Structure 1
Amino acid sequence: VNFESDCQQLVQIVTSPKAWPALAPELDDIQLLRSSFSLFSLCFISRSLNLRADSLAKEARSRDSPFILVDVKVPQQLGFEARVLGPI
């Protein structure tokens, strides 16, 4: 599985052997998740190349309740943003 993030610091924390004691519980969870896959990668991607995911994350953060999108249809506002931003 391949994960991409526009947070360069997160990628460095997860992929670096350097100890991050304040994040130990979260890093342990990530390591457990990593071990579930035969192939696992996490890499940095510029936000400008990841606008659709960025707008989806912003939409999720703006809600007072959990936001889960598992569908082939895109919510209307995100669909509008996708048209404005152009093809993938």
Structure 2
Amino acid sequence: MDSRENIQLMGTRNFTRCESALHSEVEALRWAMENMLQHSPCQSFGTDCNELIAMINEPHEWPRFATELEKIETLQICFPDFKITHVPRVRSQLPDFLAKTARSFRRELLFIGCSIPVWLPRPPQA
């Protein structure tokens, strides 16, 4: 999102099963960071997962995630103004919808773009 909270770029990917939901959050952030390096000058990332923000801010307090957090710390070097902020669930319906849609695909799904592609189902209108 830009400073006015307009979506600039979105994406989704269905990963193989992770050890836990928190591992999935970390993996999704890593994937997003890697892709932003290729597709956008984005410096700011959002999540509805407070634990993920805590992990990024205090990685030494999460030894079970040391390997995953090292990868993210390495990627952070590429983002001089890296920020991760909390996005309340009520404001993250589109990302939640994309994540649920990706999980339901029986084959590999990977998409990055400015809008939802025509081949993906549309979110229900509120």
Give me the TM-score of the superposition, normalised by structure 2. 0.57
Query: Residue type of the partner of 1:55?
Result: F
Unmatched runs of 5 consecutive residues or more in structure 2: 1-42
CA RMSD of aligned residues (A): 1.8
Unmatched runs of 5 consecutive residues or more in structure 1: none
Please tell me whether the aligned partners of residues 2 and 41 of structure 1 are also in contact (alpha carbons under 8 angstroms). yes
Quote the residue 2:108 is aligned against: 66
How much has 1:17 moved relative to structure 2? 5.3
Query: Residue type of the partner of 2:121?
Result: Q
Query: Comparing both structures, which one devotes a greater share of its residues to helix?
Result: 1
**Which of the pair has more CA radius of gyration?**
1
Percentage identity across paired residues of the two chains: 27
Quote the residue 1:77 is aligned against: 121
Give distance in 2, aligned partners of 1:49 and 1:72. Answer: 18
How much has 1:8 moved relative to structure 2? 1.1
Structure 2 residue 29 is matched with structure 1 residue 16: no
How much has 1:18 moved relative to structure 2? 4.3
Dislocated runs of 4+, deviation >6 Å: none
Size of the aligned set, in residue pairs, is 82
